[in-house]
Amino acid sequence: MSAKTYEVRTYGCQMNVHDSERLAGLLEDAGYVRAPGGEDTADVIVFNTCAVRENADNRLYGNLGRLAPKKAARPGMQIAVGGCLAQKDRDTIVRKAPWVDVVFGTHNIGRLPVLLERARIAEEAQVEIAESLEAFPSTLPTRRESAYAAWVAISVGCNNTCTFCIVPALRGKEKDRRPGDILAEVEALVADGVIEVTLLGQNVNAYGSDIGDREAFSKLLRACGNVEGLERVRFTSPHPRDFTDDVIAAMAETPNVMHQLHMPLQSGSDAVLKSMRRSYRQDRYLGIIEKVRAAMPDAAISTDIIVGFPGETEADFEQTLHVVREARFAQAFTFQYSKRPGTPAATMDGQIPKEVVQERYERLVALQEEISWAENKKQVGRTLEVLVAEGEGRKDDATHRLSGRAPDNRLVHFERPAEPVRPGTASIGAGPAPRPGTASIGAGPAPRPGTASIGAGPAPRPGDIVTVEVTYAAPHHLLAEKPALAVRRTRAGDAWERRTAAAEPAKGVMLGLPTIGAPRTEPASAGGCGCD
């Protein structure tokens, strides 16, 4: 008898992405295997939902409605709905879509296999919503989407009361993991081949409030610096209220903590920030940016911005544009305000007409596009170490390039190295000839110990490090059009190779991340749910 198959569909923030890796791990631990053909072959389809956008329920019910006839035609097929929308709507989901088998919340994802089996035996829907956390996601089995990078949850929940955000009501109050447990997980991941970790929390730099140590987060960053083999540490998403000088010092002084910061702004207007119940003002925010740049001049800073919050005037919006000009963000996740049912902002006076919000949104996007391009142009001529990624470059096959992330998290597309040369042939000559006026490979910096010149070994794998020179900048990516200077094969690349040899590469999840390009009719949620 063949194993049952599953498909997990993820919407929303990085916390949901991390939860979905655990859901996949739980199902595989219970004997399921990933469906090779998606929903057309899956015995179990799991929706990990997000409640941030106003129309999140419409999107879910539309997907469920489309699956209803498929489920009717396939006896034994099951559908499960989890995540923030499930936590919020509970019995409503089963009432509107009675063909759903399981509904579970954000606090009890570990119960999914049991609930599926119970629904199968009882032949009726199982709804189980825990009101408090049963186990940290990172303590559950996992099926990581990446062999070389990993999420590590250091806290769950949020103690803030932002008027536009429903997440605290669905994820609960902040609860911190013990530092020893976090570091043990990081060390285990590194032993498994991971070279990059992202510390994850709804309000990540508030870490320590639950355990009574205001400097716990900076201490954790420094402790990650002592993990041998861990090359890159990131974190998301912090809150300006809790961003203290000791965190800036830890970032600047810990070699493997990347000089990249996602710092949600939401609005540049003090009046709007007060209405949002954000505990900082414009001066405080710009002061943080100034300190970060003083300590790390090369830092790439990104942000979240809401346009059209209730009561926002043209003068308020101009203050947001002022902060964008002053901060010069490398990237901004910009989206139009939409009501979150159950939040104070949803019933506030002064709801902004759609056409006004759209016009402001387009002006903000145009300004940020201009700044992003200008900031990226500063990278031209720089030599960067790029962590080769899987699935980052959608056009890589057509352009014959590879893609990856620089230390500051900028996306870099680079020339696919030539195949290894045969003995007796010139090494670099096997690749494309340098363009007129460019230096030969020998003119670049010497490879670090443990690296190989580009003609000396096989092509780089996801997880390997490639040294390239940036030759062109676009608003959202960099290009390295010359032959790579060096390739460093890593344990992470070895891990990717083992995984690929054992099974098909993992499919990505739908992050729902907005871009800073042309406005969309329905902007998706930002990197941290737009709530940080």
pLDDT-based confidence at residue 257 (cuts at 50, 70, 90): very high
- What's the confidence (pLDDT) of residue 444? 36
Question: Which whole number is the average pLDDT over 369-396?
Answer: 94
Q: Are 82 and 116 in contact (CB under 8 A)?
A: no
**pLDDT higher than threshold 60 for residue 525:** no
Residue 194 to residue 148: CA distance in whole angstroms: 4
Beta-carbon count within 10 A of 75 CB = 6
Q: Dihedral sign, CA of 473, 476, 482, 487? A: positive
pLDDT tens-place string over residues 447-491: 444 444 444 457 899 999 999 999 999 999 999 999 999 999 999
- What's the confidence (pLDDT) of residue 16? 81
The angle at the Cα of 293, spanning 288 to 297, to the nearest 5 degrees, equals: 165
Residue 161 to residue 273: CA distance in whole angstroms: 12
Beta-bridge partners for 413: 403, 479
Question: Which whole number is the average pLDDT over 222-237?
Answer: 96
Question: Which whole number is the average pLDDT over 231-236?
Answer: 97
CA–centroid distance for 92 within its chain? 29
DSSP 207-261: TTTTTT-TTHHHHHHHHHTTSTT--EEEEE---GGG--HHHHHHHHH-TTB-SEE
Q: Are 319 and 285 in contact (CB under 8 A)?
A: no
pLDDT-based confidence at residue 36 (cuts at 50, 70, 90): confident
**pLDDT higher than threshold 80 for residue 132:** no
Lowest mean pLDDT among 266-275, 283-292, 400-409, 505-514: 505-514
pLDDT tens-place string over residues 408-454: 999 999 998 776 533 333 333 333 333 333 333 333 334 444 444 44
pLDDT tens-place string over residues 187-204: 999 999 999 999 998 899
Lowest mean pLDDT among 101-105, 217-221, 371-375: 101-105
pLDDT-based confidence at residue 54 (cuts at 50, 70, 90): low
pLDDT tens-place string over residues 335-354: 899 888 788 999 999 999 99
Residue 532 to residue 526: CA distance in whole angstroms: 10
**pLDDT higher than threshold 90 for residue 105:** no
- What's the confidence (pLDDT) of residue 174? 87
pLDDT tens-place string over residues 268-297: 999 999 999 999 999 999 999 999 999 999
**pLDDT higher than threshold 80 for residue 56:** no
Burial class (CB in 10 A: 0-12, 13-18, 19+), 238: buried
- What's the confidence (pLDDT) of residue 338? 86
**pLDDT higher than threshold 60 for residue 215:** yes
Q: Are 418 and 406 in contact (CB under 8 A)?
A: no
Q: Identify which has the larger pLDDT, 270 or 87.
A: 270
Residue 112 to residue 124: CA distance in whole angstroms: 15
Lowest mean pLDDT among 106-120, 275-289, 293-307: 106-120
Write the CA distances from 471 to 378, 414, 432, 465, 482, integer angstroms. Answer: 11, 10, 16, 18, 8
Question: Which whole number is the average pLDDT over 1-11?
Answer: 86
- What's the confidence (pLDDT) of residue 172? 81
Please report, rounded to a whole number, the percentage of residues in the chain having pLDDT higher than 90.
61
- What's the confidence (pLDDT) of residue 147? 92
- What's the confidence (pLDDT) of residue 452? 46
Q: Identify which has the larger pLDDT, 403 or 92.
A: 403
pTM of the model: 0.80
- What's the confidence (pLDDT) of residue 10? 87
